[in-house]
Amino acid sequence: MIPRSEHSISRKQFSPNAIKVLYRLKDGGYDAYLVGGCIRDILLGIEPKDFDVVTNATPEQVKKLFRNCRLIGRRFRLAHIVFGREIIEVATMRGHHQGQDSKNPISQSSEHGQLLRDNVYGTIEEDAERRDFSINALYYSVKDFTIHDFANGMQAIKERKIELIGDPETRYREDPVRMLRAVRFATKLDMHIAPATKAPIKELAGLLSNIPAARLFEETLKLFLNGKAEQNFYMLLEFGLFKQLFPALDEIIEQSETGFEKRFIAQMFANTDLRINADKKVTPAFVYAALLWFPLLKRSEKLQQQEQLPVFDAFAQAMNQVLGENAQHIAVPKRFTLGARDIWHIQMRLDKRSGQRAYRLSQQPRFKAAYDFLLLRVESGEQEQQALADWWTNYLQQDINGQKEMVRTLSSQDTGKPRRRHRRKPKKKSPE
């Protein structure tokens, strides 16, 4: 226990709503602590985004204390206390599974050791042992303003070390997503993964196939939209985790002779990091359009060769197949797959600029994202698209008259001379 005089954390650094939750639980006769990321981030000088509370009250008892409470989750039963846009998450202290009946509905594990249901309640000591990393097993008490450090988390923060609590292989088998979390914390907090924590990752990477596709989508968003996506990409490749998330793309990267595909993805993530760190918006539709672009091209080419399909028909079929296969690994919501489809469709139409085509295409809702996608292709080394990218860059900078002149000039270049307009012959009237 670290007294107030020996740590730098103050209640002023916490959300006022989190403090309200702590005191109401305390006044209700329960123990309550702020735990995990918020304590870790404050100690590292980072402004915390979320404030999580742990208590010895059950979810049902928490609900009785708060009218603005809703209970969520099956695998982990949680209470969400809603204060407008802010949600304070309250979890009941978790206990160990030893001695639990295999038929007990509150605890269930898979044949691989993965926890499928985990509503086993316990003491704060047991809860700390159930935490994943030592830096997340720090508890702040409003009773005496002390920090409870159960796994040398303060020392791990000083050493900038990501270290699992307990046997790494067992902990990864309990929840394989911890491998992704280790990568994310290492890059986000500028820390290194402890050797023992790092050692089993490659061997156990395949366990991610047991994780629901919807949960993996949420985890990939945290990896790719946190401002450290490029570093995460390289570390996922190093540990064999990227192969479990995007097997088709990983195979293409492995077999590439030029390394263009890897440069393309790395450049996309680098650009994404720049936008996020500049507080600009990034849509997951663009990220997934890039991640599935090369599997899409490969499948389209295969369909053209094997089934003798026209280019556009093969491209449309390939989109359906690639998105369908990806959904088995990562369940990307439809609103983002529709956006990815639009970006891909527009790539096929960017060189069709005659007449009103260029103007109509530029008015498409996803055109700006598709234009950025074209620039990404050129930036990564697809030089044959440079002239097309330059044309569109110039076109978007012109007013309406300048755009019309560019299209007229383009038409003249195509034919070698100005096009003559041909008047249609009037239709002959049919005899009565």
Active site residues: 50, 52, 132
Q: How far apart are CA 374 and CA 389, in angstroms?
A: 7
Burial class, 210, CB count within 10 angstroms (exposed 0-12 / middle 13-18 / buried 19+): middle
Nearest to 313 by CA among 326, 300, 324: 300
Positive or negative: CA dihedral 161, 166, 172, 178? negative
Specify the residue for token string 């064999």.
Answer: 240
Q: How far apart are CA 311 and CA 297, in angstroms?
A: 11
Positive or negative: CA dihedral 47, 184, 378, 393? negative
Neighbours of 281 (CB within 10 A): 6
Task: Tell me whether strands 147-149 and 107-109 are parallel, antiparallel or unpaired.
Answer: unpaired
CA 219 to chain centre: 5
Compute the C-alpha angle 268/270/275, nearest 5°. Answer: 95
Contact, 105 vs 75, CB < 8 A? no
The tokens of 186 are what?
A: 């290492």
Specify the residue for token string 């702020």.
Answer: 34
> For residue 416, which phi and psi values (nearest 5 degrees)?
90, -15
DSSP state of 134: G
Q: How far apart are CA 252 and CA 299, in angstroms?
A: 12
